[in-house]
Amino acid sequence: MLLHPDAMGVAELAEKIRKIPNWPEKGILFHDITPVLQSAAYFRLLVDLMVYRYMGQKIDVIAGLDARGFIIGAALAYQLNVGFVPIRKKGKLPFDTVSQSYALEYGEATVEIHTDAVHRGDRVLLVDDLVATGGTMLAGIELIRKLGGEVVEAAAILEFIDLPGGKKIRESGVPLFSLCQNEGCM
């Protein structure tokens, strides 16, 4: 596993990520961050590493992708003293929304954001747990752009370097930060 050079302590954090073969379907190696979240020390390390990266930067709001991006993004928003915006699966938000469909590694999905969640010119940090095919992040980027926001960076714990997601995100004009990189295939 390759670690981001700025991330002291990431090797231990990466080891806490549980790998579950053939879930949610055969051929997928699921990377489960719940053991990181269950440990007070590792969850704090994760949030502190992200806070360290973004403190002092001009960020107006953090957008978290459903569902693990909510956990990381909300904790990060609290520490950076900025607002948090959820990007949810279709049909879960109660107010007016805009939506974006995308393909994921084992199907298709649609995500939505409230129409008043991001304002024109807002500098947004987009957060999720991992980047595989990039579909979810790219959909989030498109939603933020539809509302007039600027995605200053996309951030994740883990980027699968054997899948095209990271490259696609960077090609969309959005920098991608990942604490660690690994091969995601079985």
Report the C-alpha gap between 103 and 162 in whole angstroms. Answer: 17
Q: How far is CA 159 from CA 2, 50, 94, 96, 141, in A?
A: 10, 15, 32, 32, 17
The reply to whether 159 belongs to the active site is: no
Question: Which residue in the list 105, 123, 145, 150 is annotated as catalytic?
Answer: 105
Report the C-alpha gap between 184 and 65 in whole angstroms. Answer: 19
The reply to whether 68 belongs to the active site is: yes
Question: Which residue in the list 15, 53, 68, 120 is annotated as catalytic?
Answer: 68
| 180 closest CA partner among 130, 105, 126 | 130
For CA atoms 181, 103, 170, 33, the dihedral sign is: negative
CB atoms within 10 A of CB 98: 16
- List, by residue number, the catalytic residues: 68, 105
